């Protein structure tokens, strides 16, 4: 289980865990709850180049669709196949087994510009 | 003297209305409407509608119109074939309000009957086409082909903008493809697959093949399909369902998408509609499907239960990113077609298909033996015959003998056989070709041996069980009994206008003079229909303040698209090719955005204020930002929040000042008729929903009719049709129409066989009756709002705190205080014998109630009583009397079985569960399943009939 206070966050309700130059990305518990029961996750292919702010995938529930945005520039190095076959992981463990993609960042320092845990808590009114 | 029709249509009488008015605080309907409808939009125009007639008189007038239609034996083909509607299906489905007055099955627990019928439809289509998954349903074949093309572009790996089109496709399909492709930047390339040259195909994202061809030709498209797919393209095949019983289906030929119509499965031609189109895909393309898809899930007890699957694809959720703008489908007609398959079964269908193919072969052999030039050697039901210079004479002679053939060109005639064709008809065709009567040659089906079907179809027991009429009748009753339709009680769905569909209005639908005509029958045979269409178009123009109406669009979504395409064409004609921005308020129905994209426009969202009105400051800012690019604004009036927006004139003026056109969505016209007209307060074009305001029944999710109405300057761009007997759109020169005729539906007048319904409604109500209906609907909504405002906050109101024809009850404070959700309230209403109001639109966590004018005071009070009782139950949860996870709301709805079987271990009594108010003792509706697990169904997608064992 990751320490949520150590993570970086985005305005699109995604979290980013940085290890070296690889960022693991998922959606927050708040986003998962707002979406409702997730039934389908569409993720990019490994090797895809992603640009910050661009849509790279979708998280779909029975009643709505959330877009997955790339929080930073880089290349997709791994996608969570478990979550494609068991989309409910996004609801049951959004910060753990429900992670979505890993991206090798072209500039790891860019992660500094993302929200801190405190800033994100402020965003969602906690 | 008996009461007028208006008195029957409007549920509340004078005495009831006085009582309701005093509750709302007004002394008359006039004073209520004066307070509710802003003075700035009130209509001053004198209506030109004829004075109302009685039900008996209206039927007599319809008989006169019908008598001006002439039914001859159609052998025209082109996707429309005469068929025998089994009487047991006509009486128990088409003429049965339990089926035709139901709503779209968004509340699956009370829609299991038609969901089962629809999954039968999907199974039938998937089996016959050899595809993995079929939807339920499309509006007609031609629009299904367009949806197939758009699906191909989404799913294709090719970057080409080219779509290949079979030269032997139906002419209406080709015209529709041309009209629709142009708006979204697709280039069409027509290919003649009968010449060898096609082997050198251009690069394309997809290909469309008509199978069998319009000319009747049957050929093996495998090579074409393979070639296109090898280069990343997607193959779309329109397959005739009856032919598929004898031919290798598209799924086995490698097709990715199969489309078509199910009309010839027992649905009358009806001069063009309504019928159910279909679209089916191979495995892997399910999420790309447009339209509604029924799937299997399970209820709270783990029993199998049906529901609509993968709804996140659709326009009401995904808006401009939806897979299609289609919303209303053709449920009633899909059910009829599926029941035709249930009735005949695989063996019965095989014998029908074999007989049709045999008769066609017999006709071909006889004609050939007599010296005629029959063009194709292999065909299913349609022959093309070459008669150099003599085609028109042949068609004329045939018509004189009561048989209609298709004049392909001056040298070519085609004739299509169907299940109603007799030996006399074949002899008449021979005589028309100038041959003396001779013994018919023997003819075995002329199908290529290599394409003979070898795979099974319709193997599910449902297609073999109901052979006797008794069994069929009981199956239809068994399914109908599971569902909640208007014949049980109120369906107070906001923005859906579930009003009375009167028996007299419905009467003419099945008269042969309206039901049995081919859409391309000669002009002289359809004068009654053309008169009816002309009158209805004039009346609709009169009540909306527009100049011209086209009845062609088959649903609101298609009317929207037609209106936006008209706006686009208007700007282009003025040289304004940069006007591509469509402004849409945040509170708009999702279909608006989806339609705009299909018209080649770019959606820019305009903010709405806390009252749901268009935010004028934001509108002005967006207009300034896109100054010369504004194509249109789409606005719903009254707003989607059910409010008469005060400032609508300022909105429309701002858009006009920027050179844009104003599209007024007519979904809420039931709050306006007789009091204000779109055309008078700035609308340039609108669609109306005849299945809302003008009494066409919802059919359980279709048919719909979505006429598009416009001001004079847009008339040249409204839908016409290259094969129309006569262009009936007022105020334009038909000779100036583009070749595609601005076509948006397969048939020239859309779904004519249900137009007598709306015609009869207007004819029997008259201007005064329509206005009284509007006022009565507004009174009913405000009465409900006033009576419920102590229990639930009522969101949004216009002038003087009044709602329009619907009111929004805010459930969110209740959710916050008690944990009881809007879903819980909706499902608990089932236990009280009600269909839920519209949920979470336009605001999440709310219920939107539209009682319509047709409900009487007792029914309104019964609903109010239920809502107040439900509030008390929620309060009991808040007070700790019931646990948050075990209470009558969370466990709703309760089936009889769940209340009876086993130990009762809940915190409330069995009586509270199923008889919460005493009135239910005499009129209990039992839901057939408990609450359905939505997520389970989407995570485990099954869209065909489950095995019988699943239900044991």
Are A111 and A8 spatial neighbours (Cβ–Cβ below 8 Å)? yes
CA distance A115 to A52: 14
pLDDT recorded at residue B438: 65
Distance from CA of A82 to the nearest CA of B (A): 14
User: Which burial class, exposed, middle or buried, applies to B735 when counting CB atoms under 10 A from its CB (0-12, 13-18, 19+)?
Assistant: exposed
Indicate if the pLDDT at residue B873 is higher than 60: yes
Which of B318, B840, B939 is the closest to A65 by Cβ? B318
Chain A residue numbers touching B938 (CB-CB < 8 A)? 39-40, 62
Q: What is the pLDDT of residues B112-147, one digit of tens each?
A: 999 999 999 999 999 999 999 999 999 999 999 999
| Token pair for B863 | 């609903």
A125: left (phi over 0), alpha (psi -120 to 50) or beta: left
Residue B844 forms contact with A (CB below 8 Å): no
Residue located via tokens 């929200």: A115
Indicate if the pLDDT at residue B871 is higher than 60: yes
Confidence grade of residue B752 (pLDDT, cut at 50, 70, 90): very high
Indicate if the pLDDT at residue A8 is higher than 90: yes
DSSP B93: I
| Token pair for B732 | 């334009």
CA distance B563 to B574: 17
The DSSP bridge pattern shows strands B304-308 and B294-298 to be: antiparallel
Distance from CA of B309 to the nearest CA of A (A): 8
| Token pair for A87 | 């989309």
| Token pair for B245 | 């019983």
DSSP B507: G
Indicate if the pLDDT at residue B62 is higher than 60: yes
pLDDT higher at B641 or B870? B870
Are B611 and B590 spatial neighbours (Cβ–Cβ below 8 Å)? no
Average pLDDT over residues B590-617: 93
pLDDT recorded at residue A88: 95
Confidence grade of residue B196 (pLDDT, cut at 50, 70, 90): low
pLDDT recorded at residue B445: 84
| Max Cα–Cα distance, chain B, nearest Å | 90
Residue located via tokens 């609801």: A91
CA distance B253 to B720: 36
Residue A40 forms contact with B (CB below 8 Å): yes
Residue A61 forms contact with B (CB below 8 Å): yes
pLDDT recorded at residue A20: 93
Are B685 and B567 spatial neighbours (Cβ–Cβ below 8 Å)? yes
Average pLDDT over residues B890-897: 98
DSSP A111: G
pLDDT recorded at residue B477: 98
Which of B317, B840, B935 is the closest to A39 by Cβ? B935
pLDDT recorded at residue B368: 93
Q: What is the pLDDT of residues B837-865, one digit of tens each?
A: 999 888 899 999 999 999 999 999 999 99
pLDDT recorded at residue B630: 98
Bridge partner list, B190 = B165
What's phi and psi for B596, nearest 5 deg? -60, -40
Residue A82 forms contact with B (CB below 8 Å): no
Distance from CA of B559 to the nearest CA of A (A): 26
Are B301 and B438 spatial neighbours (Cβ–Cβ below 8 Å)? no
Indicate if the pLDDT at residue B1 is higher than 60: no
SS3 readout for B655-699: HHHCCCEEEEEHHHHHHCCCCCCHHHCCCCEEECCCCCCCCCCCC
CA distance B31 to A14: 54
pLDDT recorded at residue B436: 80
pLDDT recorded at residue A125: 85
ipTM: 0.88
Confidence grade of residue B315 (pLDDT, cut at 50, 70, 90): confident
DSSP-based three-state secondary structure for B413: strand
Task: Judge: B312–A64 Cβ closer than 8 Å, yes or no.
Answer: yes
| Max Cα–Cα distance, chain A, nearest Å | 37
pLDDT recorded at residue B594: 94
Residue A34 forms contact with B (CB below 8 Å): no
Task: Judge: A63–B312 Cβ closer than 8 Å, yes or no.
Answer: yes
Indicate if the pLDDT at residue B301 is higher than 80: yes
Q: What is the pLDDT of residues B504-541, one digit of tens each?
A: 999 999 999 999 999 999 999 999 999 999 999 999 99
Which of B287, B321, B938 is the closest to A62 by Cβ? B938
Are B492 and B849 spatial neighbours (Cβ–Cβ below 8 Å)? yes
What mean pLDDT value characterizes chain B? Answer: 96
Q: What is the pLDDT of residues B16-36, one digit of tens each?
A: 999 999 999 999 999 999 999
Indicate if the pLDDT at residue B275 is higher than 80: yes
Confidence grade of residue A64 (pLDDT, cut at 50, 70, 90): confident
Residue A92 forms contact with B (CB below 8 Å): no
Residue A2 forms contact with B (CB below 8 Å): no
Distance from CA of B624 to the nearest CA of A (A): 26
pLDDT recorded at residue B312: 87
Segment holding B515, helix H or strand E: helix B512-515
CA distance B347 to B309: 31
Q: Which of A41, A45, A63 to mutate to test the interface with B (most CBs of B within 10 A)?
A: A63
Q: What is the pLDDT of residues A80-94, one digit of tens each?
A: 999 999 999 999 999
Which residues lie closer than 8 Å to B207 by C-beta, 6 or more apart?
B163, B164, B165, B166, B191, B201, B224, B225, B228, B233, B234, B235, B236
CA-closest candidate to residue B691, choices B524, B468, B500: B500
Which residues lie closer than 8 Å to B899 by C-beta, 6 or more apart?
B910, B913, B914
Average pLDDT over residues B237-245: 98
Average pLDDT over residues B772-793: 97
Which of B287, B312, B840 is the closest to A61 by Cβ? B312
Residue B317 forms contact with A (CB below 8 Å): yes
Segment holding B486, helix H or strand E: none
Average pLDDT over residues B337-342: 98
CA distance B217 to B197: 18
| Token pair for B287 | 């999420």
Task: Judge: A62–B312 Cβ closer than 8 Å, yes or no.
Answer: yes
Confidence grade of residue B760 (pLDDT, cut at 50, 70, 90): very high
CA distance B49 to B540: 9
Beta strands in B276-334 (DSSP E): 277-281, 294-298, 304-308
Distance from CA of B619 to the nearest CA of A (A): 26
Task: Judge: B287–A62 Cβ closer than 8 Å, yes or no.
Answer: no
Indicate if the pLDDT at residue A1 is higher than 60: no
Indicate if the pLDDT at residue B197 is higher than 90: no
Task: Judge: B938–A39 Cβ closer than 8 Å, yes or no.
Answer: yes
Which residues lie closer than 8 Å to B670 by C-beta, 6 or more apart?
B497, B499, B692, B693, B773, B774, B777, B805, B850, B852, B853
Q: How far is CA B340 from CA B74, B87, B280, B465, B486, in A?
A: 21, 11, 19, 13, 25
CA-closest candidate to residue B686, choices B588, B542, B556: B556
Average pLDDT over residues B565-574: 98
Question: Which pairs from B345-351 meet CB under 8 Å and 24+ separation?
Answer: B345/B458, B345/B463, B345/B464, B345/B467, B346/B245, B346/B456, B346/B457, B346/B458, B346/B459, B346/B463, B346/B464, B349/B242, B349/B245, B349/B458, B350/B245, B350/B246
Indicate if the pLDDT at residue B291 is higher than 80: yes
Q: What is the pLDDT of residues B142-187, one digit of tens each?
A: 999 999 999 999 999 899 999 999 999 999 999 999 999 999 999 9
Task: Judge: B934–A62 Cβ closer than 8 Å, yes or no.
Answer: yes
Which residues lie closer than 8 Å to B344 by C-beta, 6 or more apart?
B352
User: Which burial class, exposed, middle or buried, applies to B47 when counting CB atoms under 10 A from its CB (0-12, 13-18, 19+)?
Assistant: middle
Q: How remote is the C-alpha of B582 from its chain's centroid?
A: 24
Residue B311 forms contact with A (CB below 8 Å): yes
Residue A60 forms contact with B (CB below 8 Å): yes
Which residues lie closer than 8 Å to B919 by C-beta, 6 or more apart?
B862, B865
Are B168 and B214 spatial neighbours (Cβ–Cβ below 8 Å)? yes
CA distance B276 to B135: 11
Distance from CA of A61 to the nearest CA of B (A): 7
Confidence grade of residue B419 (pLDDT, cut at 50, 70, 90): very high
pLDDT recorded at residue B544: 98
| Nearest residue in A to B307, CA atom | A62
Percent of chain A that is helix, strand, coil (3-state, to 5): 25, 35, 40
| Nearest residue in B to A67, CA atom | B318
Distance from CA of A6 to the nearest CA of B (A): 31
CATH 2.40.50.100 is right for the domain spanning A7-106: yes
Are B380 and B216 spatial neighbours (Cβ–Cβ below 8 Å)? yes
CA-closest candidate to residue B877, choices B816, B794, B810: B816
Confidence grade of residue B2 (pLDDT, cut at 50, 70, 90): low
Are B272 and B260 spatial neighbours (Cβ–Cβ below 8 Å)? no
């Amino acid at each position: 289980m990751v320490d949520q206070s150590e993570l970086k966050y985005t305005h699109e309700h995604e979290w980013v865990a940085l290890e070296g130059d690889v960022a693991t990305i998922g959606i927050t518990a708040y986003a998962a709850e707002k979406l409702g029961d997730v039934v389908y996750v569409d993720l990019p292919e490994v090797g895809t180049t992603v640009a910050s702010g661009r849509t790279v995938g979708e998280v779909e529930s029975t009643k709505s669709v959330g877009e997955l945005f790339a929080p930073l520039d880089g290349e997709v190095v791994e996608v969570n196949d478990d979550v494609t076959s068991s989309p409910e992981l996004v609801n049951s463990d959004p910060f753990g087994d429900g992670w979505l993609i890993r991206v090798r960042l072209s500039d790891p320092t860019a992660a500094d510009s993302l929200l801190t845990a405190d800033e994100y808590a402020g965003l969602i009114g906690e | 003297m008996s009461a007028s029709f208006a008195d029957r249509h409007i549920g509340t009488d004078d005495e009831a209305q006085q009582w309701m008015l005093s509750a709302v605080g007004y002394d008359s309907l006039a004073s209520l409407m004066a307070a509710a409808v802003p003075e700035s939009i009130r209509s001053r125009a004198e209506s030109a509608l004829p004075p109302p007639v009685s039900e008996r008189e209206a039927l007599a007038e319809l008989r006169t119109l019908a008598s001006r239609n002439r039914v001859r034996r159609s052998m025209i083909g082109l996707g429309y074939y005469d068929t025998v509607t089994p009487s047991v299906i006509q009486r128990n489905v088409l003429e049965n309000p339990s089926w035709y007055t139901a709503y779209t099955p968004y509340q699956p627990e009370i829609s299991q009957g038609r969901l089962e019928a629809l999954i039968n439809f999907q199974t039938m289509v998937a089996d016959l086409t050899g595809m993995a998954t079929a939807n339920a349903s499309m509006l007609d074949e031609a629009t299904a082909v367009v949806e197939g093309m758009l699906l191909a572009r989404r799913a294709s790996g090719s970057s080409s903008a080219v779509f290949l089109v079979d030269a032997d496709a139906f002419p209406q399909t080709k015209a529709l493809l041309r009209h629709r492709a142009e708006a979204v930047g697709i280039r069409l390339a027509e290919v003649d697959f009968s010449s060898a040259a096609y082997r050198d195909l251009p690069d394309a994202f997809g290909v469309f093949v008509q199978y069998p061809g319009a000319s009747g030709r049957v050929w093996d498209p495998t090579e074409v399909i393979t070639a296109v797919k090898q280069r990343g393209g997607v193959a779309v095949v329109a397959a005739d369902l009856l032919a598929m019983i004898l031919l290798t289906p598209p799924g086995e030929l490698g097709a990715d998408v199969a489309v078509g119509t199910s009309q010839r499965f027992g649905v009358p031609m009806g001069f063009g509609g309504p019928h159910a189109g279909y679209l089916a895909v191979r495995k892997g393309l399910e999420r790309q499907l447009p339209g509604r898809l029924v799937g299997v899930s399970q209820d709270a007890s783990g029993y199998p239960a049906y529901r609509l699957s993968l709804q996140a694809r659709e326009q009401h959720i995904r808006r401009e990113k939806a897979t299609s703008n289609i919303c209303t489908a053709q449920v009633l007609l899909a059910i009829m077609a599926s029941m035709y398959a249930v009735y005949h079964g695989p063996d019965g269908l095989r014998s029908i298909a074999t007989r049709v193919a045999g008769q066609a072969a017999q006709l071909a052999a006889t004609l050939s033996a007599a010296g005629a030039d029959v063009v194709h050697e292999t065909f299913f039901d349609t022959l093309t015959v070459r008669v150099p210079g003599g085609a028109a004479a042949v068609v004329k002679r045939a018509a004189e003998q009561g048989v209609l053939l298709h004049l392909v060109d001056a040298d070519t005639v085609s004739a299509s056989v169907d299940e109603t064709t007799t030996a006399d008809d074949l002899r008449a065709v021979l005589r028309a070709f100038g041959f003396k009567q001779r013994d018919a040659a023997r003819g075995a089906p002329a199908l290529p041996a290599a394409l003979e079907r070898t795979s099974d179809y319709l193997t599910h027991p449902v297609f073999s069980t109901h052979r006797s009429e008794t069994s069929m009748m009981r199956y239809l009753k068994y399914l109908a009994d599971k569902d909640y339709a208007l014949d049980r009680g109120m369906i107070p769905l906001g923005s859906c206008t579930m009003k009375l569909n009167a028996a007299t209005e419905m009467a003419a639908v099945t008269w042969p003079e309206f039901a049995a005509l081919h859409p391309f029958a000669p002009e002289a045979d359809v004068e009654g229909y053309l008169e009816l269409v002309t009158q209805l178009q004039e009346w609709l123009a009169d009540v909306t303040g527009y100049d011209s109406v086209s009845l062609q669009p088959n649903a609101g979504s298609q009317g929207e698209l037609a209106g936006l395409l008209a706006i686009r064409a208007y700007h282009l004609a003025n040289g304004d090719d940069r006007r591509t921005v469509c402004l849409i308020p945040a509170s708009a129905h999702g279909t608006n955005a989806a339609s705009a994209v299909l018209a080649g426009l770019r959606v820019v969202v305009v903010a709405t204020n806390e009252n749901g009105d268009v935010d004028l400051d934001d509108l002005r800012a967006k207009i300034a930002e896109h100054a010369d690019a504004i194509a249109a604004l789409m606005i719903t009036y009254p707003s989607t929040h059910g409010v008469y927006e005060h400032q609508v004139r300022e909105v429309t003026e701002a858009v006009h000042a920027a050179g844009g056109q104003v599209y007024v969505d007519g979904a809420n016209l039931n709050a306006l008729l007789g009091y204000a007209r779109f055309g008078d307060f700035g609308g340039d074009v609108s669609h109306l929903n005849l299945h809302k305001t003008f009494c066409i029944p919802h059919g359980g999710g279709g048919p719909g009719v979505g006429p598009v109405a416009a001001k004079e300057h847009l008339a040249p761009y409204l839908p016409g049709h290259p094969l129309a007997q006569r262009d009936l759109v007022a105020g334009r020169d038909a000779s100036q129409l583009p070749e595609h005729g601005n076509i948006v539906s397969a048939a020239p007048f859309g779904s004519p066989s249900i137009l007598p319904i709306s015609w009869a409604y207007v004819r029997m109500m008259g201007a005064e009756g329509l206005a009284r209906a509007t006022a009565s609907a507004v009174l009913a909504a405000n009465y409900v709002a006033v009576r419920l405002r102590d229990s639930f906050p009522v969101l949004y109101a216009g002038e003087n705190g009044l709602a329009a024809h619907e009111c929004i009850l805010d459930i969110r404070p209740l959710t916050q205080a008690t944990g009881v959700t809007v879903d819980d309230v909706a499902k608990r209403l089932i236990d009280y014998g009600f269909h839920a109001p519209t949920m979470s639109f336009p605001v999440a966590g709310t219920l939107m109630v539209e009682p319509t004018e047709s409900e009487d005071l007792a029914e309104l009070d019964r609903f109010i009583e239920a809502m107040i009782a439900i509030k008390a139950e929620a309060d009991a949860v808040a007070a700790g009397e019931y646990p948050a996870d075990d209470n009558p709301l969370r466990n709703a709805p309760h089936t009889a079985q769940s209340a009876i079987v086993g130990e009762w271990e809940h915190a409330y009594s069995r009586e509270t569960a199923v008889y919460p108010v005493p009135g239910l003792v005499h009129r209990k509706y039992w839901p057939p399943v408990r609450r359905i697990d939505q997520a389970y169904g989407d995570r485990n997608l099954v869209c065909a009939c489950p095995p019988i064992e699943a239900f044991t």
